[in-house]
Structure 1
Amino acid sequence: MIASSTLQCLFAALILFLNAVDSNNPKSDQGSVGACSGVPGIPGTPGDNGLPGRDGLPGRDGGMKGAKGDRGDKGATGKTGPKGSLGQRGSMGPIGIKGEKGIKGNLGERGEPGPQGKNGIANSINWKQCVWNTHDDKDTGLIKECLFRKRHSSTALKVAYAASIRALCPGKACCGRWYITFDGAECSPMTIEGLVYSPDNNGEPLQHRQIEGFCKSIQSGSIRVAVRVGNCPGFGSSDRYSGWRSVSRIMIEEYPQSQN
């Protein structure tokens, strides 16, 4: 059952409503129901969401730049990656500036002698011959001189003299000596020479003979190679003849020195 107080309030509200409807009584007493409170009504259904609003205007200059932050801690070293493929070779750079000359080093120890090399071809083909077809009846002195250019100081010279020669002294034995000189001096320690001995003979013992040999220790350069005639040791002068009716010659060759 509804309480009496509630009924009273409902009744007073009805009277107030009717007075408000009555246009002939605008000054109806509205305070007669002030002592009565209405019962809360049932909440209404929520309305739909409104449409989204328009985008706002962009800010000026994108805002102020913030202060620089503190540097972070150093990260751990990463693993070494695989070796890359070889790139193309670059072009040659410019030649660098010549460096200063270094300090001369100390002289090293002498090494063991190497094996002897083979005889070179260039040395054996350096040769010359001087040829003449005139006789010489000189008993002592220069017969013929031949100029030769020696290429190396370490080589030897082979010299040969070929001619028809004789030594004659009627009524007694005699001897003549034909020998080779180099710039006026004989080879040392061994000379290049040939002796022609004749016993007591009144004939003409002319024969073609050849005198030859090697001479070492001759410096390179221009050499005057000569053939001379003179006395044999222990014999005096005699009648000597060089180059009778035949070609005479001096042959000179440059050779590598032998180990012997």
Structure 2
Amino acid sequence: MKSLTLILFLNAVESNNPKSDQGSVGGCSGVPGIPGSPGHNGLPGRDGLKGSDGMKGGKGDRGDKGGTGKTGPKGSLGQRGSMGPIGIKGEKGIKGNLGERGEPGPQGENGTANSINWKQCVWNRSDSKDTGLIQECVFKKRNSATALKVAYAANMRVYCPGGTCCGRWYITFNGAECSGPMTIEGVLRISNSRDDPLRHGQIEGLCENIPTGSIRVAVHVGNCQGYGSSDRHSGWNSVSRIMIEEYPQSRN
């Protein structure tokens, strides 16, 4: 065994010696040596270049429906939107049942139903005035919620031989004509007549929205709209009168 080891050693020395190669002729190759132990792994190399994107894959199958998540916190109140259009009128609902009878209310103030407030002013005087005040009658009104019913009755005429003329008789309250709802008036018109037509007539009406207190109710005569002055007469040879009544102001 020692001899074999020595021969291998010598052969290895001679193979590494160039001079021995020059002097040897037809030498035999030595026996291969024992493989050495594996070396350590080298250090990791650097990352290579990023490759190009691959082709888009096909659409996958739809996954299972996930579970219901938790309810989030309540958000803050938003701004109020603008008013929408008026909706279509709905159908009439079913009539409800009659409600229970309520308790009696407190006693109201004393009314005027049992105490009628009225007045009349009468006179016997012929008045040939063509325009102006004929007669005034002062009336004391008690309730602001009532109306005044006024009537004027007398002989009246308008005269203009050979032409057309018109006269207007009307009522005023404290110097102003009625505006609730309209004036209280009457007109007489005559055309192409030589007669002196003295006839009894009456004008009357209700006037609302008149305050309480002393009211000067008066009858006047004047021109009709669109006509000039003419010969007029009021109260010829008879009694004339103004009748005033405080009337309940109740309308349908």
TM-score (norm 2): 0.55
Of 161, 172, 192 in structure 1, the residue corresponding to residue 152 of structure 2 is 161
Task: Specify the SS of the correspondent of 2:150.
Answer: strand
**Deviation, structure 1 residue 199:** 1.3
TM superposition shift of 1:120:
4.9
Q: Which residue is equivalent to 2:186?
A: 194
| Pair 1:137 & 2:133 matched | no
Report how far residue 202 of structure 1 moved: 1.0
**Structure-2 separation of matches of 1:192 and 1:167:** 19
Give the aligned CA root-mean-square deviation in angstroms.
1.7
Alpha-carbon distance in 1 for matches of 2:117, 2:184: 20
Displacement of 1:258: 2.1
Q: Provide the C-alpha distance between the structure 2 equivalents of 1:257 and 1:203, rounded to a whole number of angstroms.
A: 43
Alpha-carbon distance in 2 for matches of 1:162, 1:199 = 24
Give the distance between the partners of 1:120 and 1:126, measured in 2 at CA.
Answer: 8
Q: Using the alignment, how far apart are the partners of 1:191 and 1:242 within structure 2?
A: 20
Aligned to 1:241: 233
* 1:206 maps to 2:198: yes
Question: Is 1:171 aligned with 2:162?
Answer: yes
**What runs of 5+ residues in structure 1 fail to find an aligned partner?**
1-113
The residue type equivalent to 1:137 in the other structure is: S
1:19-58 to structure 2, matched below 5 A, reads: none
Which residue does 1:183 correspond to in 2? 174
Deviations 1:146-169 (A, max 9, x none): 000000111000000000000111
Aligned with residue 210 of structure 2, among 190, 214, 218: 218
2:235 matches 1:231? no
Amino acid at match of 2:123: W
Partner AA of 2:125 in structure 1: T
Find the counterpart in structure 2 of residue 110 from structure 1.
none
- CA distance in structure 2 between the partners assigned to 1:259 and 1:253 by the alignment: 17
State TM-score, norm by structure 1: 0.53
Aligned to 1:257: 249
Q: Higher Cα Rg: structure 1 or 2?
A: 1
CA distance in 2, matches of 1:142, 1:149: 20
Paired positions, count: 143
Secondary structure of the residue aligned to 2:244 is strand
Q: Distance in 1 between matches of 2:171 and 2:139?
A: 14
Structure 1: 4+ residue segments shifted above 4 A? none
Deviation at 1:173, TM superposition (A): 1.0
SS of the residue aligned with 2:236?
A: coil
How far apart, CA to CA, are the structure 2 residues paired with 1:196 and 1:122? 39
Q: Distance in 2 between matches of 1:218 and 1:200?
A: 42
Counterpart Cα distance in 2 of 1:151 and 1:144: 23
Q: Give the secondary structure class of the aligned counterpart of 1:162.
A: strand
Which segments of 5 or more consecutive residues in structure 2 lack a partner in the other structure?
1-104
Shift of 1:259: 2.1
1:151 to 142, 152, 163: 142
- The amino acid that maps onto 2:226 is G
Partner Cα distance (1:248, 1:140) in 2: 17
Aligned equivalent of 1:121: 113
